[in-house]
Copies of this chain bind each other. A is one copy, B any other.
């Protein structure tokens, strides 16, 4: 089977495996007091060109929920896209970590929050004191769940709304590397320089086994986060294990190389499929996902030929999601396109 269902179907990158083997030597203080964790903070600060605080965890859900639990009180509201991962795919983790805050889902094309829609949602929520939950956080996903990207000025416009109402801005960066690479932006230019306060920085979907980090991009926001992480069971005892993955991920630009490859493979898929008559690609490929519209015969034929992918809920029937990753092989991409071409020819 050739698996295009997600970027979490791979194992770990060889560089990560090597780093883990190296890190396994000897003894080290547990619970994040090790030298890998210390080095990690320096590496992330360097990458983001500002002193940051870094709290490693093992899942994206944990990173997001921990960040939101730290930023939003139980009687608060988190504003996000209605289709965002935190709202639809974490089984209420943000609600658990915040002790019951409300996620306000906002519609918008391409999985993206629009500043006007956000502003309207905040005003609607904040209408009457005490009876209403208190607006506290805005969360956006970069790259989005629809494979789209926020340009720096789009983030800045969201941040401007946050400032207006004194809200914190969180970014779910499960696919942050792919976004940064695709936009050609320095990490700082799509985060704190345009108003992002806290980032969930993902590595798992881009080569790590299980390594994400909550990154506080400005001081004064993280007061209780260590207790919150421990209390959620997310303080790993052999802390070097998570930190070593993340250090290796940042060393030698592994994050960039892996993301570039994934993005290139998705573009290749999109380019190849869109040249086929009978296949539509309504939206350009922005990061590592392509959303072609395939005739039934092609969809079924590809699956029969061993390609795995998800149907995608969309107004256009026949839409599927194809996800690439750091280990996607060019030959597999080309073979999928060729197979589709053959199926189209056969059904013509």
* Partner-B contacts on A (CB < 8 A): 1-3, 5-6, 8-12, 17, 20-21, 23-31, 57-63, 65-66, 73-75, 88-93, 95-103, 124-125, 127-134, 204-205, 209-210, 224, 226-228, 230-238, 240-242, 313
Contact = CB atoms under 8 A, between A and B. Distances in A.
Contact of A59 (B26, B95, B237): B237
A1 to B, nearest CB: 7
A95 B224 CA distance: 17
A252 B91 CA distance: 37
A236 B63 CA distance: 12
Copies per assembly: 4
A230 B1 contact: no
Nearest to A77: B92
Contacts of A74: 92, 95-96, 99, 231
Contacts of A29: 5, 9
A228 B95 CA distance: 12
Nearest to A209: B241
Contacts of A65: 233
Given A134-B227, A230-B90, A237 B100 contact: no
Residue in A31, A101, A230, A233 whose Cβ sees the most chain B Cβ within 10 Å? A233
A98 B1 CA distance: 41
B57 A233 contact: yes
Contact of A8 (B60, B97, B237): B237
B130 A91 contact: yes
A218 to B, nearest CB: 22
Nearest to A21: B17
A304 to B, nearest CB: 18
Contacts of A133: 91-92
A176 to B, nearest CB: 16
B59 A236 contact: yes
Nearest to A328: B27
B9 A27 contact: yes
A28 B210 CA distance: 15
Contacts of A91: 75, 130-133, 227, 230-231
